[in-house]
């Protein structure tokens, strides 16, 4: 069954077409990777899905419901959560509070009534706290629970951000370069988390990633973007042997490797 359908989406910044008539389908339950050289429009496309950018043309459907140009918060409420290329946390909060904040859409208590904590708010806090503790355990964040997130190492911040997205209990999780800036061990951990999220929690994952070895390992299918266009899609095996991709992407990866990128 199709979970997400991106249909002919075009996003322009002035004269620049960041996304140019991109179309792809994502199936329920899969890990779909989006790859492509820097500036190809991957983040822009993710931003269109989560409602932060409004494409000038095209439609995006989530479970047969059109979400194009809807407000970001209402898209989140439908069950789409994400992380960002350059970690976007709430710098003054503790790890616990950041992940708790991800529960926001599940709060039923009227915000003003939470001022009368003992009537209703407390029960609700406890309920959500339980879910959050499960996430903290899942991501091995116990020792950082009370730490202010801006003081944590980058790798941990990435995990906290993933935790916040999981707290929303999404059906679709968008990850923008979840391994960017991580050490090799951290990347391996992240790959395991992503697979567990997909297999054990049953969450569909759309991710952008540069590290081809991880992409090949963890994704069910891959779409390749170049200059805003989708130039190929298929299983990792098919992509690996696609001449257009090899030229566009692997060539760039070689160039990047040469410059130590």
Partner 1 sequence: MPSGVFKTSYAEDMAFIRWPIHRIALTLAAIFLLTYPFVFRNNIYMLYWANYIAIFLIATLGINILTGYAGQISLGHGAFMAVGAYASTITAIKLGLPFPLTVFIGAISSMLFGLIFGIPSLKLKGFYLAIATLAAQYLVDFLLVNPKLAWLTGGSSGLIVPEASLMGFEITKLSGSDFYFYFVTVPLAVFFFIFAANLTRSDVGRAWVAIRDNDIAAEIMGINVFKYKLLAFAIASFYAGIAGSLWAYYIGYLTPEHYTIALSIDFVAMILIGGLGRHWGSLVGTVFVLTLPEVLKRVIIPAISGFVPVTFTAESLRPIIFGAIIILFLIAEPHGIVELLRKVKEYLRLFPFPY
What is the token pair recorded at 36? 């492509």
- Closest CB to partner 1 among 27 and 123? 123
Does residue 102 bind partner 1 (CB under 8 A)?
Answer: yes
Q: Does 18 bind ligand ADP (CB under 6 A)?
A: yes
Can residue 84 be called a binding residue for partner 1 (CB under 8 A)?
Answer: yes
Stretch that binds ligand ADP, among 11-19, 59-67, 158-166, 188-196 (CB under 6 A): 11-19
Residue 52 near residue 4 (C-beta atoms within 8 A)? no
| By CB under 8 A, residue 13 contacts partner 1 | no
Going by C-beta distance under 8 Å and a sequence separation of 6 or more, which residues neighbour residue 41?
11, 18, 19, 20, 22, 225, 227, 228
Min dist. Cβ of residue 92 to ligand ADP (A): 26
Contact with Mg ion (CB under 5 A) among 43, 47, 157, 204: 43
Residue 29 main-chain phi, psi, to 5 deg: 90, -5
Closer Cβ to Mg ion, 43 or 94, answer by number: 43
Cα gap 34→231, rounded to integer Å? 11
Among 165, 207, 208, 245, binds partner 1 (CB under 8 A): 165
Which of residues 14, 15, 115, 243 is near partner 1 by CB under 8 A? 115
* Closest approach of ligand ADP to the CB of residue 77, in Å: 24
Are the beta carbons of 154 and 83 closer than 8 angstroms? Answer: no
Nearest residue (CB) to ligand ADP, 52 versus 138: 52
């Amino acid at each position: 069954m199709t979970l997400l359908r991106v249909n002919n989406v075009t996003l322009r910044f002035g004269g620049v077409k960041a996304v140019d008539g991109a179309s792809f389908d994502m199936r329920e339950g899969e890990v779909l990777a989006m790859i492509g050289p820097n500036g190809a429009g991957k983040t822009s496309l993710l931003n269109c899905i989560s409602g932060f950018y409004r494409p000038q043309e095209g439609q995006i459907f989530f479970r047969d419901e059109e979400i194009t140009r809807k407000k970001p918060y209402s898209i989140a409420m439908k069950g789409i959560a994400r992380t960002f290329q350059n970690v976007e946390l709430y710098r003054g909060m503790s790890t616990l509070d950041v992940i708790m904040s991800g529960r926001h859409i599940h709060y039923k208590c009227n915000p003003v009534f939470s001022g009368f904590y003992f009537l209703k708010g407390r029960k609700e806090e406890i309920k959500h706290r339980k879910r959050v503790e499960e996430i903290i355990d899942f991501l091995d964040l116990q020792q950082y629970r009370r730490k202010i997130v801006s003081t944590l190492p980058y790798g941990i911040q990435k995990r906290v951000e993933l935790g916040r997205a999981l707290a929303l209990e999404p059906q679709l999780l968008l990850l923008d370069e979840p391994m960017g800036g991580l050490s090799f061990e951290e990347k391996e951990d992240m790959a395991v988390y992503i697979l567990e999220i997909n297999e054990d929690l049953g969450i569909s994952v759309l991710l952008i990633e540069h590290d081809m070895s991880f992409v090949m390992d963890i994704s069910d299918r891959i779409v390749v973007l170049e200059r805003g266009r989708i130039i190929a899609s298929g299983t990792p095996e098919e992509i690996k042997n696609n001449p257009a991709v090899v030229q566009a992407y692997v060539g760039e990866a070689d160039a990047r490797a040469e410059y130590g990128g």
